Amino acid sequence: MVPRPAAPPPLGVVQRLVNTRELLEDRDDLSTPAGLVAWADSEGLPCPARPTEADLTRVRRLREALRQLLGAPEGAPAAVSALNGELARTGTRPLLRVDPPGAEFVGDDATALDTAITRVLATVVTTRLDGSLHRLKTCAAEDCLWAFYDRSPNAVSRWCETSVCGARHKMRAYRARQAASTSG
């Protein structure tokens, strides 16, 4: 499902990682080592040539922590804890650059997977600091949870696609009201 325009750089990498799992179609692009390699290649991220099951589990946990963070604007302490754990595991620290001006996140003796995870988490950290992460959300439909970028003026969108998930929610609410009024 690609209901809305993609998130702008650099948030696109976070959105695409979260959307490697599509609940409505029961699809998980990270269910095999080849899927992990394909995702990393498509993002220009390093990846082990032969990812292990532990590598897959690690990236899937990262993805679900990101999904939880995007779906809980009140903070999601468990997600933040998991993401901080990944930052610690990679030995990541920020370094300022002179030319071009900016910052990068690096880790000592990082594996290819550590480097890929660091790049994703660096995006989360920097966009959280600049305030743009709040526009990357997950759909409010519990059977969807697709990541989308909210371009509405007040950043109040709830559905990845109003005509699909929003309409289903409204129809369920309508039916529930109808059932309550006929039984009562």
Residue 93 is predicted with a pLDDT of 85
Residue 94 is predicted with a pLDDT of 86
pLDDT in tens, 29-74: 999 999 999 999 999 999 999 999 999 999 999 999 999 999 986 7
* Domain locations along the chain: 12-183
Determine contact, residues 95/103, Cβ cutoff 8 Å: yes
Return the sign of the alpha-carbon dihedral for residues 160, 21, 9, 87. Answer: positive
Residue 92 is predicted with a pLDDT of 83
Q: Residue 2: pLDDT above 60?
A: no
Q: Residue 6: pLDDT above 90?
A: yes
Residue 91 is predicted with a pLDDT of 87
Q: Residue 162: pLDDT above 80?
A: no
Indicate yes or no: pTM above 0.95.
no
Residue 177 is predicted with a pLDDT of 72
Among 1.25.40, 3.30.1460, 1.10.3470, 1.10.3300, name the CATH number for the domain at 12-183.
1.10.3300
Q: Residue 169: pLDDT above 60?
A: no
pLDDT in tens, 10-36: 999 999 999 999 998 999 999 999 999
92: left (phi over 0), alpha (psi -120 to 50) or beta: beta
pLDDT in tens, 102-161: 888 887 778 999 999 999 999 999 999 999 999 999 999 999 999 999 999 999 999 988
- Written as six digits, the tokens of 140 are 């409010």
Residue 23 is predicted with a pLDDT of 94
